[in-house]
Amino acid sequence: MFYVTRLSTVLELFLAAKQPHLASVKNWHMLVVMRILIGIIIGSLSFTFQAQAKPVTVAVRSLGGVRAQVATIDLGDAQTHLDIVLANNAPRANSSQEQFGDELFGSMVSRAKAALVVNGTFFSKDAQKRVMGNMVRSGIFVKYSRWENFGTTFGLNQHNQPDMFTLRAGDAPRWEKHWFSLTCGPRLLKDGQVWLSPKTEGFSDPHVLNSASRSALGYSQDGKTLWLVTFLSPLSLAQEAAAMKALGAYQAMNLDGGASKGLAFKGQTLMAPGRKITNAIAVYDSVSPASQALKQSRTTFTLARLPNGDLPILSPDQKVAMNPTPKPVVTPAPSPTLSAPVVPLPSSSTPQPVITPVPTAAPRLWRGEDVQHHPEAQQVLAAPKYFFWYLYRKDYPKAWQALTETSRQSIVREIVATLESSQTEAQVRQAMDSYDPDFAPTFWEAFRHTIDSEKWVKHNFVLSEIQGDSGQVLTQPSNIQLQIKKEKGHWRFGFSETFS
């Protein structure tokens, strides 16, 4: 759902009464952009429209010279639902404790009645036919081990927002947040760049490491498009990664392939596996809708649970490789036009160290030519650059994280004040922090448009001064001193501190 609203006369009068002095300030619209935007976005929710449904499509495409059947799925369509089809309609996936066998692909397709069915993850070749990795279906774990740390996991939350993590690369386990989750690998792309380290992930089978018949999964940077790709000729992992990058994927991983590779569209098998399989991915859309039970499971989802209703125990050992190997080869991302090193932003799932300040004399003031020699000069300069860069690229969660805590609190307070409803600051903050698809995207799109992010990424940024945990960056030609603050070891842009 998205909202189309207008700035009412009442809101204009409200803003004028609240900030009468702004009319005399040059570029005053920048100073009140937050208040105006909130009114534009939320001032009236009476005009509500359903985005046009986009059913699944399948087409043969050339991806950097590699031919493949590419299934395109619109994750922004409320009718899009993913499910895991288990062999013989089993209640759980095969594991070392219990087994339910395998099944012909065509039989699984007939039972699923989905728009699209493709092969899923690996399974062992022995009699147990154990499925690789943890697996979540309709918010319930159909396979779970607290010690699993192989491969790469793809998941979707309640709002169809995609997620991908690789535990042996140091990522934190997030299965409990997934309404749908499948672990396979190796990983092919991370943040838009080739990322290949199959041995780090625990893969040693030559059938995986060498050239093979493959299939893959990837999604776009904005998280709106999912691709399930079935390659038409054998290729290496490096070629597969390059093909997924050519497709436009931002995150991608390899799926099971070889004799397990299968593809069915609208009930018709386009590529049949050479053997029975244990699991497959089913995709439903507006033409081939999901069952009411599947829809309901997503609507009521909170956290993924075990079949007995308990929450899983996530072990710290899942983040540690059993057999550490050399660091993965990561293809470096090209620097954006705002050339500066990216300042890592803390993940909400990663605890940040508590730094106890040591009493010292007044911090030194670095200014003029001297400021360029400050040991953190580039990080200070990067903070506003990358805020506007994330905004321009529509990477809104990162833009939110690039702001100071004061700015985020100020934005939340203004939203609540403008809403004049029962929503609390805690509820609005949660919606912004979690990037609620019914709230945050609309806010950010209007914000991006109003401040003209393309203009800001073309500005020159000049470091003015640094003193202690504060800094200033001058923008040219607008000649605005942007306020930069250091919080928990990271330099962030003080939007509200600058434009208040």
Q: Which of 219, 229, 183, 217 is nearest to 203 (CA)?
A: 183
Q: In the prediction, which pLDDT does 3 show?
A: 28
Q: How far is CA 274 from CA 98, 102, 120, 138, in A?
A: 25, 13, 14, 29
Of 449 and 396, the structure prediction assigns the larger pLDDT to 396
Q: In the prediction, which pLDDT does 456 show?
A: 86
By the 8 A CB rule, do 158 and 179 touch? Answer: yes
pLDDT tier at 412, thresholds 50, 70, 90? confident
Please give the Cα distance from 186 to 254 (Å, whole number): 5
Contacts of residue 255, defined as CB under 8 A and 6 or more positions apart, other chains included, come to 118, 119, 120, 121, 184, 214, 215, 216, 217, 228
Please give the Cα distance from 237 to 211 (Å, whole number): 7
Q: In the prediction, which pLDDT does 387 show?
A: 93
Q: In the prediction, which pLDDT does 453 show?
A: 81
Q: In the prediction, which pLDDT does 458 show?
A: 86
User: Is the model's pLDDT at 48 over the cut of 50?
Assistant: no
User: Is the model's pLDDT at 7 over the cut of 70?
Assistant: no
Quick one: three-class SS letters along 237-268? HHHHHHHHHHHCCCEEEEECCHHHCCEEECCE
By the 8 A CB rule, do 369 and 461 touch? Answer: no
Q: In the prediction, which pLDDT does 319 show?
A: 38
Tracing tokens 């203004």 back to the chain, one arrives at 414
Quick one: three-class SS letters along 162-213? EEEECHHHCCCCCHHHCCEEEEECCEEEECCEEEECHHHHCCCCHHHHCCEC
pTM for this entry: 0.57
The type of residue at 165 is F
Q: Which of 347, 309, 401, 322 is nearest to 165 (CA)?
A: 347
Of 307 and 15, the structure prediction assigns the larger pLDDT to 307
Q: In the prediction, which pLDDT does 134 show?
A: 92
Q: What is the mean pLDDT of residues 375-386?
A: 91
How many CA atoms are closer than 13 Å to the CA of 327, on its beta-carbon side?
Answer: 2
Q: Which residues pair with 478 in a beta bridge?
A: none
User: Is the model's pLDDT at 148 over the cut of 70?
Assistant: yes
Q: In the prediction, which pLDDT does 314 show?
A: 58
Q: What is the mean pLDDT of residues 213-238?
A: 97
Predicted confidence (pLDDT) per residue in 304-331, tens digit: 888 777 777 654 444 333 333 333 434 3
Q: Which helix (H) or strand (E) holds 446?
A: helix 440-451
Burial of 470 (0-12, 13-18, 19+ CB in 10 A): middle
Q: In the prediction, which pLDDT does 329 show?
A: 39
- Residue 240 φ/ψ region, left for φ over 0, alpha for ψ in the -120 to 50 degree band, beta for the rest: alpha
Tracing tokens 């992992």 back to the chain, one arrives at 237
Predicted confidence (pLDDT) per residue in 238-275, tens digit: 999 999 999 999 999 999 999 999 999 999 999 999 99
